[in-house]
């Protein structure tokens, strides 16, 4: 009891549940052309960008909210949201970290990312997003030396319009599905990464997203371009303060890998999942798509999804270049009333393309977990292979675990293998661990970590440690 119990109690109340009081500039409530112009104006965007947004909005008007997904949610009133909010002190951009609002800095400290320290000690360049505007970007100099561009996308629109113009919307067009189109119309900020030809990015690039103001849907836009022969590993980690109202998050992430380039994209998502009765929590409706445009390119997605009331996302790879490789490693943990409908799409277009999908789903409490995936090998994708494995672990009989794979093979030279299993933690395993002195909760943590090992191994070191802890925290209270 005692200390450990206290610790658990602390954790049960969402670890990162606090919000900082900073005055916000908000766009008027609702969604219309004026709001889009307002966002575009406040960001001092060129005309082509405004047109991009307006074109998306035109399309958005005729689209309907999809309803085929497993987790149902109450109807969202898109006119009742704020589409832009920025910390006020951002109006005149600070020149260095010292100029930042001390309250802002404190928020990051609570989150475990003191900017200066982290930058110095970890060698990680952090582009922290506080609500919708990037606050500070560290390690810029070192990256600039190599010719790497790592900046908020709004800056990239100003400074590198030729790159943004060429690639923005090339993987997720403005005419895509409902949420992606919404994002194209109203996205506020996000990260932009460009790795020049032949450069291996010397550090892990990382962004902490943070949703702060209540009632603000966050619409991030991330664009990563890896030029010929380059390599980049990008980390995305998320925490959000505790709020009662459901918050919508519809981000778009576009990755483009040219000849021989490799992009590794890792996510640890720990947004507020709602309380024990399923009240509140974030809606995470994110569109992530990577295009292996060049020959021999590779895109690898790794995700650990433990938060959000509803997670609904399918990080996908379009394998267009010959010999390109797509990978997807995923752990999704749902507890209490959380719902997740996640998976991937592997679209094989080029010759000799390979893809691998490893998905581990764990559901406990009253939650529901669905793996939904597509493997599509077109008739031109000769000698392609795919391997898919999706395993689910169930804890208790009030939760559900579902697997819905779509497999299309139009090519006799290609091989597809798919496996899925569903089971529970066996009594023998639990007994064995407990016999050796672990309590039930620790034993479950250990077994689940073992179950997820294949995916956890794919994460960069710093993340792997955090993720392992998270796996344990997420399942607390689900045994016994």
Partner 1 sequence: MKEQLQKDFNNTIKDLNLSQRDIEIKRFCLDSFINKGFPNRKEEDWKFSDLNQIIKKNIGELSFYSDYTSTNKVDTSVFVDGLEHNKIVFVNGRIEKIDFDYEKKNQIEIIDQSETISKFDNNNSLSDLNNAFTNKSFKILVKNGYKLVKPLIIYHTTNSKIWSKNINFRLDFELDKDSSLRVIDIFNDTSEKNFLNIFYNFELRENAVLKNYKIDKFENRNIKYSFNNIEQHKNSVSETFILSSGSNFFKNEINCNLKGEYASAFVNGIFSLKNDKHHEIRTIINHLTENTKSYQLIKSVLEKNSKAVYQGKIFVDSEAQKTNGYQLSKAILLNEESEFNAKPELEIYADDVKCSHGSASGSLNEDSIFYLMSRGLSYQQSRELLINGFLLDVVEKITDSEIKNLIKNLIGIKE
Nearer to partner 1, 55 or 402 (CB): 402
CA atoms 387, 201, 157, 26: torsion sign: positive
User: Can you tell me the distance from the alpha carbon of 455 to that of 304, in angstroms, rounded to the nearest whole number?
Assistant: 9
Q: Considering the rule CB under 8 A, would residue 112 count as an interface residue with partner 1? A: no
From candidates 414, 458, 468, 478, binder to partner 1 by CB under 8 A: 414
Give exposure, 363-394, as e/b (b: 16+ Cβ within 10 Å).
bbbbbbbbbbbbbbbbeebbebbbebebbbbb
Q: Considering the rule CB under 8 A, would residue 165 count as an interface residue with partner 1? A: no
| Contact stretch for partner 1 (CB under 8 A) within 83-91, 181-189, 418-426, 435-443 | 418-426
| Contact stretch for partner 1 (CB under 8 A) within 31-39, 96-104, 416-424, 434-442 | 416-424
From candidates 296, 338, 344, 403, binder to partner 1 by CB under 8 A: 403
Task: Compute the least distance from the CB of residue 426 to partner 1, in Å.
Answer: 10
Q: Considering the rule CB under 8 A, would residue 333 count as an interface residue with partner 1? A: no
Task: Compute the least distance from the CB of residue 427 to partner 1, in Å.
Answer: 10
β-strand pairing of 310-313 with 282-284? parallel
Please list, in sequence order, all residues whose beta carbon lies within 8 angstroms of the beta carbon of residue 10, skipping any fewer than 6 positions away.
none
From candidates 10, 79, 144, 415, binder to partner 1 by CB under 8 A: 415
Polymer length of the chain: 480
**Site pattern 360..389 for partner 1 (x: CB under 8 A):** -------------------x----------
Q: Considering the rule CB under 8 A, would residue 177 count as an interface residue with partner 1? A: no
Q: Considering the rule CB under 8 A, would residue 440 count as an interface residue with partner 1? A: no
Task: Compute the least distance from the CB of residue 68 to partner 1, in Å.
Answer: 7
From candidates 420, 430, 438, 446, binder to partner 1 by CB under 8 A: 420
From candidates 399, 464, 470, 473, binder to partner 1 by CB under 8 A: 399
From candidates 408, 431, 453, 469, binder to partner 1 by CB under 8 A: 408
Q: Considering the rule CB under 8 A, would residue 79 count as an interface residue with partner 1? A: no
Instruction: State CA 468 to chain mean position distance.
Output: 17
From candidates 5, 68, 102, 437, binder to partner 1 by CB under 8 A: 68
User: How far, CA to CA in Å, does 366 sit from each of 217, 334, 453?
Assistant: 26, 9, 25
Structure tokens at 269: 């998502």
Task: Compute the least distance from the CB of residue 377 to partner 1, in Å.
Answer: 9
Q: Considering the rule CB under 8 A, would residue 48 count as an interface residue with partner 1? A: no
Give how many residues touch partner 1 by CB under 8 A.
34
User: Can you tell me the distance from the alpha carbon of 474 to that of 292, in angstroms, rounded to the nearest whole number?
Assistant: 34
From candidates 97, 404, 430, 479, binder to partner 1 by CB under 8 A: 404
| Contact stretch for partner 1 (CB under 8 A) within 21-29, 107-115, 135-143, 415-423 | 415-423
Task: Compute the least distance from the CB of residue 361 to partner 1, in Å.
Answer: 11
User: How far, CA to CA in Å, does 76 sit from each of 65, 72, 249, 341, 350?
Assistant: 9, 11, 12, 18, 39
User: Can you tell me the distance from the alpha carbon of 463 to that of 229, in angstroms, rounded to the nearest whole number?
Assistant: 25
Return the residue matching tokens 């639990």.
430
Q: Considering the rule CB under 8 A, would residue 332 count as an interface residue with partner 1? A: no
Q: Considering the rule CB under 8 A, would residue 96 count as an interface residue with partner 1? A: no
Q: Considering the rule CB under 8 A, would residue 64 count as an interface residue with partner 1? A: no
Site residues, partner 1 (CB under 8 A): 68, 379, 392, 394-424
């Amino acid at each position: 009891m005692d200390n450990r119990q206290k610790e658990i109690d602390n954790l049960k109340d969402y670890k990162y549940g606090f919000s900082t009081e900073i005055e916000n500039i908000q766009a008027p409530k609702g969604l219309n052309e004026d709001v889009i112009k307002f966002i575009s104006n406040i960001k001092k965007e060129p005309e082509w960008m405004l047109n991009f947004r307006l074109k998306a909005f035109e399309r958005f008007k005729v689209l309907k909210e999809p309803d085929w997904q497993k987790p149902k949610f109450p109807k969202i009133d898109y006119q009742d949201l704020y589409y832009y909010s920025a910390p006020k002190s951002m109006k005149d951009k600070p020149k260095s970290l010292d100029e930042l609002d001390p309250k802002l800095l404190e928020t990051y400290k609570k989150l475990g990312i003191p900017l200066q320290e982290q930058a110095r000690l970890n060698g990680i360049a952090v582009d922290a997003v506080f609500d919708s505007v990037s606050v500070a970007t560290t390690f810029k100099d070192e990256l600039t030396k190599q010719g790497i561009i790592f900046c908020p996308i709004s800056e990239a629109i100003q400074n590198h319009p030729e790159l943004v113009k060429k690639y923005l919307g090339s993987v997720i067009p403005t005419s895509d599905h409902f949420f992606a189109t919404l994002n194209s119309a109203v996205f506020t900020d996000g990260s932009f990464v460009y790795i020049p030809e032949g450069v291996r990015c010397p550090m892990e690039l990382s962004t902490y997203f943070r949703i702060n103001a209540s009632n603000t849907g966050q619409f991030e836009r991330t664009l990563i371009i890896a030029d010929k022969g380059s390599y980049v590993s990008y980390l995305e980690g998320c925490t959000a303060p505790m709020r009662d109202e459901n918050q919508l998050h519809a981000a778009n992430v576009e990755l483009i890998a040219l000849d021989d380039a490799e992009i590794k994209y890792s996510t640890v998502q720990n947004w507020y999942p709602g309380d024990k009765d399923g009240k509140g929590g974030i809606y995470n409706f994110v569109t992530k798509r990577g295009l292996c445009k060049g020959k021999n390119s590779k895109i690898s997605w790794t995700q650990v999804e433990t938060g959000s009331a509803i997670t609904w996302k399918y990080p996908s790879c379009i394998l267009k270049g010959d010999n390109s490789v797509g990978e997807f490693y995923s752990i999704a943990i749902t507890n209490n009333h959380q719902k997740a409908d996640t998976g991937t799409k592997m679209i094989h277009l080029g010759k000799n393309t390979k893809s691998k999908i490893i998905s581990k789903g764990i559901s406990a409490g009253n939650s529901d977990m669905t793996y939904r995936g597509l493997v599509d090998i077109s008739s031109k994708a000769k000698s392609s292979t795919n391997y898919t494995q999706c395993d689910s672990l169930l804890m208790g009989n009030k939760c559900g675990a579902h697997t819905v794979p779509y497999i299309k093979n139009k090519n006799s030279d290609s091989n597809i293998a798919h496996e899925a299993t569903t089971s529970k933690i066996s009594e023998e395993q639990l007994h064995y661990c407990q016999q050796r002195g672990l309590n039930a909760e620790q034993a479950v943590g250990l077994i689940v970590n073992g179950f997820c090992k294949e995916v956890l191994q794919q994460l960069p070191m710093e993340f792997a440690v955090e993720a392992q802890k998270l796996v344990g925290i997420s399942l607390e209270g689900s045994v016994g």
